[in-house]
Structure 1
Amino acid sequence: MAEQPQEVDFALAAYREEGVWQVQELAHDVLENLEHVSSALRRFPGDGGAVGMVAYDEDVFLLVRVAGPTVRLLLSDITAADEWDLARDAVEQLGLPYPEEDDDPAPAGDLDILGDLGMHAMDMGVLIDDYDLYPDEMLSDVAGRLGFGPTFDDLVGLTSA
């Protein structure tokens, strides 16, 4: 478990405060499990909760949206549960069967997790199905649609085109 944070590409929290997006890094110690991530996100004073964006090993991402007691999840690839404890936690919390070794990559969770913020399920599904994109590029697209793209790109080291 101690090696996991080295494989995490980034972990950010995004929330709106008085209508303005705020984005900041999540401490790696909260990435130990989903409960810690959810608790950390609850600390942000966002209008309508906070969104956690975690990318792992340039391969998969997890979105965690917390608003009060409600936790919504989207894992970009359910097969990541074989390698990543946080993905395993997400699959368990979603009540899904653990992926088999020969399962194809597929998203798990709530594709409409950000629908009320402007990123609808169909758009999210199309984005996740683009196997040419890395998680940081996918989440950059999400951040752009929500309204904090340049801030996201600066924090994860992407240059805006």
Structure 2
Amino acid sequence: MAVDGPVTGFAVAVVREDGRWRCERLDDAALTELDTTITELRKLRSTGAVFGLLAVDDEFFVVVRPTPSGVSLLLSDAAAALDYDIAADVLDLLRADAPDDDDDVVWPAGDLEILADLGMPKAELEVIVNEVELYPDEQLQMVAQRCGFADEFSALLEEL
């Protein structure tokens, strides 16, 4: 089910502690292995918010937010599960089915309220997900802007 060749993109951990944002790179394995992403994020213990932003092959993005009771997930396009293992893993954890191969609609899966407590209401995140003309990194930049960590996010992306 995997695409041919290496998966490109980036995986970033975002941490808010004591009113300050911090962004750091996650291991490249986070782009292909959901368990690795969750494990890496859980290691970043914080009294504030911790979540991961993954932009995969200019095709889709994933937001991963560990919670005390499990993990909240958002996959920007469920159809990505037809070609990418990590997207399929997200759908598995969500207990959601992948769309048919002939579906041509962007269909997000997961929790659109995943960042609502950080300034990104469901309705706005839904608009960003449906901006099919934008690349995933551009969509995630919009999320970063709205939540208030755009400078930290941009600085990290420049280093990658």
Alignment TM-score, normalising by the size of structure 1: 0.89
Superimposed CA distance per residue, residues 69-90 of structure 1 (whole angstroms, 9 cap, x where no aligned partner):
4200000000000111110000
Answer yes or no: is the 8 Å Cα contact 2:75–2:110 preserved in 1.
Answer: yes
Alignment of 1:9-88 (within 5 A): 9-88=9-88
Superimposed CA distance per residue, residues 71-113 of structure 1 (whole angstroms, 9 cap, x where no aligned partner):
0000000000011111000011101112210122211100010
Superimposed CA distance per residue, residues 5-47 of structure 1 (whole angstroms, 9 cap, x where no aligned partner):
x423110000112221110000113444222211110111223
Structure 1 residue ranges (4+ consecutive) displaced by more than 3 angstroms after TM superposition: none
Higher relative contact order (CA 8 A, sep 6+): 2
Alignment of 1:138-149 (within 5 A): 138-149=139-150
Q: CA RMSD in A?
A: 2.0
SS state of the match for residue 35, structure 2?
helix
SS state of the match for residue 120, structure 2?
coil
Unaligned runs of 5+ in 2: none
1:105 matched to 2:145 = no
CA shift for structure 1 position 131:
1.4
Aligned residue for 1:137?
A: 138
Unaligned runs of 5+ in 1: none
CA shift for structure 1 position 129:
1.0
Distance in 2, Cα, partners of 1:43 & 1:7: 24
Aligned residue for 1:120?
A: 121
CA shift for structure 1 position 155:
1.9
Alignment TM-score, normalising by the size of structure 2: 0.89
Answer yes or no: is the 8 Å Cα contact 1:49–1:66 preserved in 2.
Answer: no
SS state of the match for residue 126, structure 2?
helix
